[in-house]
Amino acid sequence: MNLLAAHTDDGDRPIHGGGPTAPRSSRHRGAHEREGAGRLGEGNLAGLGHLLRFMLRRDRLWLPIWVLALSALTAYFANAIAVVMDSDSLQAMTAFAKNPVMALITGPGYGLDQVTVPRFIVGMYGVFLMIGAALMSILTVSRHTRAEEQTGRAELVRASVTGRHTQLIAALVLTVFMNLLLAAGMAAAFGFSQAEPDSWSATVLFAVGIGAVGCVFAAVTAVTVQLSAFARAASSMAGAVLALSFVLRGIGDMSHVSGGSLDWLSWFSPLGWAPQTAPFTLDRWWPLLYSAGLFAVLVVVAVVLQSRRDLGAGIVAERLGRSQAGLLLSTPPSLALRLQASSLIWWSLSMLVMGVVFGSFTGPMDEGAAGMPPEILSIMGGRSGIVDGYLGYMALYFAIIVAAYAVIAAGGLRSEESAFHTEPVLAAAVSRAGWLVSWAVVTLFGAGWLLAMAGLGEGVGAAVSMDDWSLLWPALLGHLAQAPSIWALLGFA
């Protein structure tokens, strides 16, 4: 039995045969609804309160886990830095934080000239908390919208007294509520910590900025779930926007710290607006207006796009596949590779581009080594080893990103099962262990491939920057050396 033909997405149609086919009732109702859809009135939000309460009940575990975990992380940063660091060590770390490489990862570093513990925490760890809020929002919106359509549950909900846009708006309201709770939790965790911030308004500004980032990426996901018919692809597209935002902000902040001319790039990134509020230094609220404006625009775009598609379908039409799959798709590993191919392609392009961008800063790092504090030079391998130290540091940084891919890909195996796609595969001559091992092996080699793409890109960028092509091979090997740690994490996942 052909495995690809057995792997269906709606119970009776092969996954390779174009986009999901909505039931006849959905198609007829979709054509009727498009006549008056596109506005949030006229019954398009019917049942909003009931559906919102239902979503809250479904997320009675996920909501507190996300909010408490990120709030606890904030409390950990605030208390650990305040307790462990004295004034001398804080000054040494400040010199490290003002380095362009750290600005690439953390932020513009406002207030580090006259550093305090709250300023240091905001400057060093704020971006990491923003990424956590963004991931929370992406997964929440995708789970309550596109995943519901893909599994057919949205059809049952829409059969009730429920408006066309009710599910989307309810998911956005829920996610905004989660970000408000997250902001309140972070403000409390920071305000009552050992860091002892001297301004509650600055503390609230810091927390609200993180929540604003989460709301923006909730709206980004609201748009991407209209484009693709599959939840995994929609989440991947939103994740790609997050990665692009991080790169733009990183380049802009790196240029800002080094006195370059590309600092304006930070203003084109949703991850760049919250750091520009500069809590405990400038305390300006107006950069958050960019977040509010983009959120409003993206919600309108999402509603308009939803009005122009049928339930279960995506704006981007799926290509029609062959009626019969080839021999290369008749084994469990080949099917697992086919199902992960789209994500691997997008991740590969991202790793390659990010590697080239980060590698291109090798030359400026080497030229600026003479002015670095001794603490930084010792961490980066000394004056003679600054290039190797930088490339090694970035290899670890890329390993963390690829580890996120491995965990997400491992979760995809469970998603296939919960969507009832695994059952027809196991109905063929495939054992449970064989399917699990096939998926794990594809993910294992996929993680290694992504590390190779990052290493190749960084090696090329470093070689061009330093005019030394002997850096290419060591950079590639240095990234591949991180693979075993990612494989171990994959095993746990």
**Measured in whole angstroms, how far is the alpha carbon of residue 164 from the centre of its chain?**
28
How far apart CA 122 and CA 120 sit, in angstroms, is: 6
Q: According to DSSP H, which parts of 314-373 are helical?
A: 332-359, 362-367
**Contact (Cβ atoms closer than 8 angstroms) between residue 233 and residue 309:** no
SS3 of residue 112 by DSSP: coil
- CB contact at 8 A, 351 and 402: yes
Q: Got the DSSP string for 390-447?
A: HHHHHHHHHHHHHHHHHHHHHHHHHHHHHTT-HHHHHTSS--HHHHHHHHHHHHHHHH
Q: How many Cβ atoms are within 10 Å of 84's Cβ, its own excluded?
A: 10
Query: How far is it, in rounded angstroms, from Cα 282 to Cα 114?
Result: 13
Residue 373 has pLDDT above 80, yes or no: no
Eight-state DSSP code of residue 285: -
Place of tokens 């010199």: 95
Q: Picking from 3-7, 48-52, 168-172, 305-309, which range would have the lowest pLDDT averaged per residue?
A: 3-7
Domain that holds residue 226: 24-318
Of the given ranges (68-82, 294-308, 314-328), which has the lowest mean pLDDT? 314-328
Q: Is residue 138 assigned to a domain? A: yes
Nearest to 270 by CA among 203, 208, 215: 215
Co-location of 291 and 360 in the same domain: no
Residues 224, 277 share a domain: yes
Q: Among 283-292, 371-380, 463-472, which range has the highest average pLDDT?
A: 283-292
Confidence of residue 114 (pLDDT cuts 50, 70, 90): confident
Place of tokens 């400026």: 364
Query: What's the confidence (pLDDT) of residue 422?
Result: 84
Residue 354 has pLDDT above 80, yes or no: yes
Both tokens assigned to 421? 């796609």
Residue 5 resides in a domain: no
Pick from 489, 418, 476: which is nearest to 449 by CA?
A: 476
- Classify residue 14: in a domain, yes or no: no
289 and 418 share one domain = no
Residues 109 and 175 in one domain: yes
Q: Does the pLDDT of residue 453 top 90, yes or no?
A: yes
Higher pLDDT, 11 or 474: 474
Query: Are residue 254 and residue 314 in the same domain, yes or no?
Result: yes
The structure tokens listed for 279 are 């809590």
Indicate whether 13 pLDDT > 60.
no
Tell me which of 279, 300, 318 is where a domain ends: 318
Is 229 inside a domain boundary?
A: yes
Chain centroid, CA 47 distance in Å: 31
Same domain, 341 and 216: no
Question: Quick check: is 287 in a domain?
Answer: yes
DSSP string, 144-181: HTHHHHHHTHHHHHHTSS--TTHHHHHHHHHHHHHHHH
> Same structural domain for residues 245 and 341?
no
Question: Does residue 1 sit within a domain?
Answer: no
Q: Quick one: pLDDT at residue 171?
A: 96
> Could you report the per-residue pLDDT of 294-315, keeping only the tens digit for each?
999 999 999 999 999 988 888 8
**Whether 93 and 216 share a structural domain:** yes
Overall residue count recorded for the chain in this entry: 493
Question: Same structural domain for residues 308 and 434?
Answer: no
pLDDT at 32: 47
How many other C-beta atoms can be found within 10 angstroms of the C-beta atom of residue 265? 18
CB of 155 closer than 8 Å to CB of 37: no
Q: Which percentage of the chain shows pLDDT scores above 70?
A: 85
The pLDDT-based confidence of 142 (bands split at 50, 70, 90) is: very high
pLDDT-derived band at 40 (thresholds 50, 70, 90) equals low
Residue entry with tokens 């006259």: 114
Q: What Å distances lie between residue 293 and 212, 273, 444, CA to CA?
A: 11, 12, 41
Cβ-based burial of 493 (10 A; exposed 0-12, middle 13-18, buried ≥19): middle
214: which 2 tokens? 């989460």
In sequence order, what are the beta bridge partners of 8? Answer: 14
More confident residue, 408 or 129: 129
Residue 49 pLDDT level (bands cut at 50, 70, 90): very high
Q: How far apart are CA 105 and CA 250, in angstroms?
A: 6
Query: Cα separation of 414 and 352, whole Å?
Result: 29
Residue ending a domain, among 318, 353, 385, is: 318
**309 lies in the same domain as 392:** no
SS3 state at 118: helix
- Residues 257 and 209 placed together within one structural domain of the fold: yes
Task: Tell me which of 318, 337, 364 is where a domain ends.
Answer: 318
- CB–CB of 275/110 below 8 Å? yes
Residues 225 and 367 in one domain: no
Q: Average model confidence (pLDDT) for the chain?
A: 84
Residues in contact with 415: Cβ distance below 8 Å, sequence separation at least 6, in sequence order: 231, 232
Residue 433 included in any domain: yes
| Measured distance CA(24)–CA(27) in Å, rounded | 5
- Report the domain count for the chain: 2
Instruction: State pLDDT tens for residues 149-180.
Output: 988 888 888 888 888 899 999 999 999 999 99
**Residue 28 resides in a domain:** yes
Residue 8, SS3? Answer: strand
At which residue do the structure tokens 């949205």 appear? 154
Q: What is the pTM of this model?
A: 0.78
Spatial distance between the Cα atoms of 493 and 439, rounded to a whole number of angstroms:
12
4 pLDDT more than 50 = no
pLDDT band (50, 70, 90) for residue 230: confident
Residue 213: pLDDT band with limits 50, 70, 90: very high
pLDDT-derived band at 439, boundaries 50, 70, 90: very high
